Structure 1
Amino acid sequence: MNSPRPALRADARRNRARVLAAAQEAFADEGPGVPLDEIARRAGVGAGTVYRHFPSKESLFEAVVLDSIERLAGQAEALLDAPDPGEAFFGYFETVAEQALLNKALCEALESTGEAMARPEVPEFHSRLGELLRRAQESGAVRADIAAEDLPALLAGHLAIRRQTSRGAVARILVDGLRP
């Protein structure tokens, strides 16, 4: 029988929070290729402290990405009762794209189908995005033939377009294709 993991001491909690904040910044700036030593330096801790909390750089990357996705899911939930469902959906779609474009780690995660994207936080994000889609479709703001399952691919395509061209017209064509 597994016993519950002991609570972290206050200094360990602070160090973990510092590592996560530094990793968030480093991954956003440089993507997943940033060296672990650089994250430790930004956090003001040794590499051993980072490894005590996160056994690998991949687990640290996953924790940072999941935190970002959890925050995005919370933003979507706040929009579920918006008076204009179409505006809420399209505004949120753009918000996700903007945040992802400013954060290489989040952008790469949203464009992938890796193991991290199967975590419980991710389906919650997709579920809320799907609910925003459903409400927008019911209001007539979004085409009825778009399924919630299509949204990850549409979002990934939108991100790829935005990363490849500075011409906003190309990205608007994709978004306009969602309208009836």
Structure 2
Amino acid sequence: MRSPAGAGIGPGTVHRHFPTKETLFEAVVVEHLEQLSRDARAALQADEDGSAFFAFLIRMTGETDAKQDLADAIAGVGAATLGSATLQEAADLREIFAALLRRAQRANVVRSTWTPQGCRRLSWPRSPLSANVPTRPDSIA
């Protein structure tokens, strides 16, 4: 992401649109969640159930590993400080991810015992919510 100055935007413009650090942060998180949701919906439309699921899981893992705040938003950590748009986007993403997982399970490429919560440890391992989830990637397929 480019800095506002690097994009030719002055501080006043940024402050008019985002009066606090929190509103700027939330806008960035919502944008990331929306993009992940678009990608997950596209994966649901893909022909290959298993490869679509695993490709999206890898994508989400990369995103959340690089951006811990994004992982926390998806997991609902700190929900009291997140706005309704962020909470709704995170809930939508979790729902789409669950649909991807069910589709891969019906295709017999992911074990039926795995849940979206069970995938959490693989997707965002540094989240405090994933502490008690198995870590072996080979246990999913």
Per the shorter chain, which TM-score range?
0.7 to 0.9
3-state secondary structure, aligned to 1:80: helix
Superposed counterparts of 1:18-97, under 5 Å: 25=1, 39-97=3-61
Q: Going by fraction, where is helix more abundant, 1 or 2?
A: 1
> Under a length normalisation based on structure 2, what TM-score does the superposition of the two structures give?
0.75
> Under a length normalisation based on structure 1, what TM-score does the superposition of the two structures give?
0.60
Given that 2:40 and 2:56 are in contact with CA atoms closer than 8 Å, whether structure 1 keeps it comes out as yes
Identity of aligned residues (%): 32
Give the Cα–Cα distance (whole angstroms) in 2 for the partners of residues 152 and 69 of structure 1: 16
Superposed counterparts of 1:1-180, under 5 Å: 25=1, 39-101=3-65, 104=66, 106-111=67-72, 113-115=77-79, 116=82, 119-157=87-125, 160=126, 174-179=136-141
Structure 1 residue runs of 4+, over 6 Å off? none
Alpha-carbon distance, 1:154 to partner: 3.6
Please provide the CA RMSD for this pair: 2.3
- Structure number, greater radius of gyration: 1
Give the Cα–Cα distance (whole angstroms) in 2 for the partners of residues 75 and 40 of structure 1: 26
Higher RCO structure (Cα 8 Å, ≥6 apart): 2
Q: Structure 2 stretches of 5 or more lacking a match?
A: 127-134
Number of residue equivalences: 126
Alpha-carbon distance, 1:100 to partner: 3.9
